[in-house]
Structure 1
């Protein structure tokens, strides 16, 4: 019995310790209660005004009243707000292309509103541009997001058939507005699936840059084409990014292309050691230096901030990362988070690393 007494004392101690911890967690503000009610949000992050994981929108890149309003109206079946928004964008090609993309995503799911728009105004170039991009989106939906070996012959057949139809819609949009680069950008994305030869893409690129030499959305699409996973290589993608960034005026976001080309060709994109070389640090610094000149309503500014936040955390530059997280919190449908299974969780994990690292 004497031998059992120490064990009994230890067991009783553990029991009372566990019960006190359980009761504390059950009280409002208890550690476990806070974690369960706000996943992905520490007390420090909450104090800074950050949103929990379940309030991160993984489908949206940013909030923009004009784009959101036009898209939401289209989802309700009304085309008039879309037409007004595109007319208001005028020759602002970044905003026009962003509107086309947002509306095309809706039309790829349900296009009755777009059909009604084209019936009412058969020669409307805005409607034609949305139709062209929506057909490209529809083709990619038919293919699915799996690798080639996991994609069926039926999926590939539907994919290529709809992409060929998209080329007809793209040609129509080009005819209706010869100045608008957005149909040419849509053609770049059709080319990823149809395997356009390099010479054709070079010609297509000349058409785009004649119309909008520093168009970020166009550069992003072209960079994807030149990546090794599509029709180029790591070297071609990085050469393209370097050329674009080095020749761009301040405020175009084009220095971010170097970060994208680098990220796209990592075998282990979450391994921090890849990001801590002097070369990558210089790439990040160049993007940070470009930000003050970028217009605050640039449609891709939020995505570049997300990318910067990710790179800065990997470089343990936590206070600088926190500045970027503050400006994008709530919408996480952006690179790099969207490349992984649970974008909101990964975003919150990296945000928490910045919060704790900056303390």
Structure 2
């Protein structure tokens, strides 16, 4: 790729990016990581207490739980503060991550019986913590959200996953993280169907407030479908006019809507649209998403490609050149 740079919300960028690191992309999260790495639960707790939305709360739970070794800090916090739902929920999410690392991301036929046994053991430990939290605080979104993942991993079925989502959505009707989790459950690889997955994604996009990130679920569902079809069929699928129009509607209703307020989930949502439009050859439609992203992106879905960074740069260059004014 050439060293041509492009301009956008974050200034000019070129051949070095993108960064997939959430802490590079959202520097205000760095103190949270530092506290978690240091095993400083009071500072983690204070940081999370200052967050102003359920979406940020859920993101913080994910990030702390993803810190290697955080289970030691969290287990200590649970012993010291047994009535607080937060340490139990983050610890449960940490157990989920440990279990999933053992299972790996391969399809079931490529996972050994021993891996499954360990995976399920960790998920059952998480589930016990989450059952307690949800019984005590039925409106506590991060715990119900984590229970959607344990339901999927423990293979509790479509009905149980939907029941858990419904319990959450009574209190938080447009919870994006929960919707992305249920969408996975609704895909064929977890016992669902494409009709169910696309129908749910479109319902989320249609019913969410204008400018919310929920419309990105439509792109997420189409990407999952592309992945399932394989390279040749998948590419033809994404090139189709119905898929393109689906994506256009969802993008205009969500991250491209005038009411959209940039938030922690915005980079992930724009990444989904940029990826889906690009792989479908709809480069002009991908351009505004790349213009927003600049040198930032979420690791998923770009990690579906053999060289995520090079692929991102290639598609970004092609997309922005369709705008005419993107080149500097």
Q: Name the TM tier (shorter chain).
A: 0.7 to 0.9
- For the 8 Å contact 1:136–1:163, the answer to whether it is kept is yes
- Residue 62 (structure 1) shift: 6.6
Distance in 1 (CA, whole Å) between partners of 2:281 and 2:177 is 29
Name the CA distance, whole Å, in 1 between partners of 2:160 and 2:83.
28
Correspondence for 2:26: 64
User: How many pairs align?
Assistant: 315
Q: CA deviation at 1:188?
A: 0.7
Query: Could you tell me whether the CA contact under 8 Å between 2:187 and 2:194 is conserved in 1?
Result: yes
Name which of 282, 285, 289 aligns with 2:248.
285
TM-score by length of 2: 0.86
Match of 1:295 in 2: 261
Provide, for residues 287-337 of structure 1, a one-character-per-residue CA deviation record: whole Å limited to 9, x for no partner.
33222322212x321111112222333455545533322322334333320
Where does residue 205 of structure 1 map in the other structure?
A: 165
CA distance in 1, matches of 2:103, 2:179: 24
Contiguous gaps of at least 5 residues in structure 1: 1-39
Give the CA deviation at 1:235.
1.4
* Contact 2:127–2:150 (CA under 8 A) maintained in structure 1: yes
Whether 1:84 aligns to 2:49 is no
Distance 2:286 2:204 in 1: 25
CA shift for structure 1 position 146 = 2.5
Q: Identify the match of residue 105 of structure 1 among 46, 66, 70.
A: 66
1:114 paired to 2:114 = no
Between the aligned partners of 2:83 and 2:29, the Cα distance in structure 1 is 22
- Cα pair 1:58 1:338 within 8 Å, conserved: no
CA RMSD of aligned residues (A): 2.5
Query: Secondary structure at 2:12's aligned position in 1?
Result: coil
TM-score by length of 1: 0.79
| Counterpart among 25, 40, 50 of residue 13 in structure 2 | 50
Match of 1:135 in 2: 95
Aligned partner (choices 163, 184, 188) of residue 144 of structure 2: 184
Equivalent residue for 1:343? 308
Whole-Å separation in 1 of the counterparts to 2:108 and 2:125: 21
Deviation at 1:155, TM superposition (A): 0.9
Point out the more displaced range, 323-332 or 303-312: 323-332
Q: Within the alignment, does 1:194 sit opposite 2:154 as a pair?
A: yes
Structure 2 SS opposite 1:339:
coil
Task: Give the equivalent residue in structure 2 for 1:27.
Answer: none
Matched, 1:275 2:241: no
Indicate if the aligned counterparts of 1:195 and 1:231 stay in contact, CA closer than 8 A: no
Contact 2:271-2:298 at 8 Å conserved across structures:
no
- In 1, Cα distance between equivalents of 2:58 and 2:231: 29
**Counterpart residue number, 1:169:** 129
Cα pair distance change 1:275/1:129, threshold 3 Å:
same
Contact kept? 2:287, 2:316, Cα under 8 Å: yes
Moved more, 157-166 or 333-342: 333-342
Matched, 1:245 2:211: no
CA distance in 1, matches of 2:74, 2:66: 12
Answer yes or no: is 1:75 the counterpart of 2:51. no
Shift of 1:349: 2.1
Gaps of 5+ in 2: none
Contact 2:151 2:160 survives alignment (8 Å): no
Once residues 23 and 308 of structure 2 are traced to their aligned partners in structure 1, the CA distance between those partners, rounded to angstroms, is 12
Taking a change above 3 Å as real, the CA distance of residues 242 and 312 of structure 1, as seen in their structure-2 partners, is closer
Cross-structure match for 1:312: 277
